[in-house]
Structure 1
Amino acid sequence: MEVPLSWQLAKLAVSIGMVLGLGAIAVRVSPRVAGLLAGYPLGTAIALFFIGLELSPGFAAESAVHTLAGFTATLALGGGYLLAGRRPGLPGVLAGTAAGLVAFLAVSLVLTRVEFDRLTGTLTTLVAIALFTWLYRRVPESVARPGGRFSWTALTVRALLAAVIIFVITGLAHVLPAAWAGVMAAFPVTMYPFLVILHLTHGPDPVATVIKHYPMGLGALLCYALCVSFTYPTLGLALGTLAGFAVATLWLLAWTRLQAWQGSRRARNASTRGASGRT
């Protein structure tokens, strides 16, 4: 099917605007709000939406079922990058990217040979989340040092890279079966460019910290993919996408409240132990 130029331009504008918009929010509103928005399944949403627009909502819904399991391949990409991308600068980025892509494709090859349904796809990724969280338990925490003025150049490069990835994913969907299209839609469209820029500007240590915490941030992505697998055939692409974002929003709000509650509880316990130690 030949894709109209207007759709291609819309895809380009949405892909670039997604990343630039988050950057503007981080600078002009607050990093906290930007961090909350970064938890949205933006890359996956754009990929599945345009797959549905260019092919059919039914094909996109079927692909979304495989996206649920495909996040396991995304975790493998992070693991490959972490293992190989330990050098600073461009050599580390290239080595990490190569290893990450090999890991992603290897796991994808296995996943696409399995007939997943919504339950087994979700359970597969939940098991992978638990496994990678355990594997990353000894990865040291590192915080990126402030790098001076905000770099719109770096953000633009990140946006263009995200747009290229979206075009590759949606283009492959025209020649690949739904299983492969779904797994490709799980590719970390926004996270991977972020890792590249972070690696080039701050070195491999902060990148390792981002990868360490990535598994626990997959909840909104799982909720979104699960929701649109139901809503695309029944509500259509527009309403189905809105429903997916609504479910992802509820998850993020619940998750942030849980984290805040756990943080306050740990603080109270620490203060209680400190007070008892002084008596």
Structure 2
Amino acid sequence: MNGILAFKLIVTPLLVLICMLITRRWGAFVGGVAAGLPVVSGPLSFFLTLEQGTAFSAHASYNTLLGIDANGLAAVAYPWLAVLGIPWYLAIALSLGIYFLGGWIVQFFPYWPLAAFALSLLSPLLVLVCLPRQDSPEATQPQHTHWWLIAAQMGFGSLLVYVVTEVAHWLGAGWSGVLMFFPVMICAMVPFIHATQGAGAVVRIYRGLMAGWFGCIAFAAIVMAFVERTPLWLCYVLATAAALGASAVVTLVQKRMKAA
């Protein structure tokens, strides 16, 4: 329990800070790739396996794949709301409402792992197609550093992880899996980017997030397939390697397509 509590209260805000610093140094797209990786859902999946068992974890990972589809709806909504001039606090509230609606809908899907995997792969591709087009140049170094706002976002990210995981233990594998892909990093980073760099940066960070989402899909699929069949350390090593490899490949493809 001490290790889990430390992760919820210490590691998560540090990850948020690292992703924000990456965004400031290399821009919204690269920051989005980092934030889209399973930096939150991966450790949470591991701790859930320790607490609830491998069968529960496998079923939760299946629902995580469905949660990616629910999150995809919100990932389309927020950038369009930002481009239309909706302020960040309304945009995040509306997009979260769409996420929870989508999470409720996917609970009615029949249990079909291959279909869930295929739909999860399709989700970030559709998001990329549906994102608004923003051709303004990217500003990698904002004029002002709002450290108080960064600290607030770090605390918010930690609070979100703590609340979601505490509630998820009582909701069963269905909602636990969907909430495993709760947009913690989006809630912690995107409003800050929206407020300080504008709608164009929001679109760019979501493009990066989609590359990271392929890593999350690979991670969840490996856990779903192997957590009951292999030692835990091997399962999560394979899942982590698959997540990093998938995100790297998709990032390179996006970069080459942009250059072309």
**TM-score, normalised with respect to structure 2:** 0.83
Corresponding residue of 1:100: 95
Corresponding residue of 2:15: 18
Partner Cα distance (2:256, 2:162) in 1: 40
Q: Are residue 127 (structure 1) and residue 157 (structure 2) matched?
A: no
1:226 partner amino acid: A
Q: Are residue 232 (structure 1) and residue 227 (structure 2) matched?
A: yes
What do you get for the CA RMSD once the two structures are aligned? 2.9
Q: 1:24 to 1:229 in 2, by over 3 A?
A: same
Deviation at 1:96, TM superposition (A): 0.7
Q: Is residue 81–residue 95 contact of structure 1 (8 Å, CA) maintained in 2?
A: no
Corresponding residue of 1:269: none
Corresponding residue of 1:141: 135
Partner Cα distance (2:142, 2:230) in 1: 45
Corresponding residue of 2:54: 57
Partner Cα distance (1:193, 1:134) in 2: 24
Does the residue aligned with 2:228 lie in a helix, a strand or coil? helix
Partner Cα distance (1:248, 1:71) in 2: 14
Q: Are residue 178 (structure 1) and residue 168 (structure 2) matched?
A: no
Partner Cα distance (1:130, 1:253) in 2: 16
1:193 partner amino acid: A
Q: Is residue 37–residue 243 contact of structure 2 (8 Å, CA) maintained in 1?
A: yes
Q: In terms of Rg, which structure is larger? A: 1
**TM-score, normalised with respect to structure 1:** 0.78
Deviation at 1:26, TM superposition (A): 6.5
Partner Cα distance (1:77, 1:234) in 2: 34
Q: 1:253 to 1:68 in 2, by over 3 A?
A: same
Q: Are residue 246 (structure 1) and residue 241 (structure 2) matched?
A: yes
Q: 1:163 to 1:224 in 2, by over 3 A?
A: same
Partner Cα distance (2:206, 2:253) in 1: 21
Q: 1:197 to 1:26 in 2, by over 3 A?
A: closer
Corresponding residue of 1:276: none
In the alignment, structure 1 segments of 5+ residues that lack a partner are 267-279
Partner Cα distance (1:225, 1:83) in 2: 28
Q: Is residue 85–residue 94 contact of structure 1 (8 Å, CA) maintained in 2?
A: no
Q: 1:117 to 1:99 in 2, by over 3 A?
A: same
1:109 partner amino acid: W
Aligned mate of 2:113, from 99, 118, 125: 118
Q: 1:132 to 1:24 in 2, by over 3 A?
A: closer
Q: Are residue 71 (structure 1) and residue 68 (structure 2) matched?
A: yes
Q: Deviations over 1:132-178 (max 9, x none)?
A: 33322x43234454323555433332222221221122112221121
Partner Cα distance (1:167, 1:40) in 2: 19
Q: Which moved more, 1:167-176 or 1:122-131?
A: 122-131
1:254 partner amino acid: V
* Higher relative contact order, chain-length normalized (CA < 8 Å, sep 6+): 2
What is the percentage of aligned positions where both structures have the same residue? Answer: 21
Corresponding residue of 1:272: none
Deviation at 1:245, TM superposition (A): 0.9
Aligned length: 257
Deviation at 1:103, TM superposition (A): 0.7
In the alignment, structure 2 segments of 5+ residues that lack a partner are none
2:64 partner amino acid: T
1:163 partner amino acid: S
Corresponding residue of 1:277: none
1:140 partner amino acid: Q
2:68 partner amino acid: F
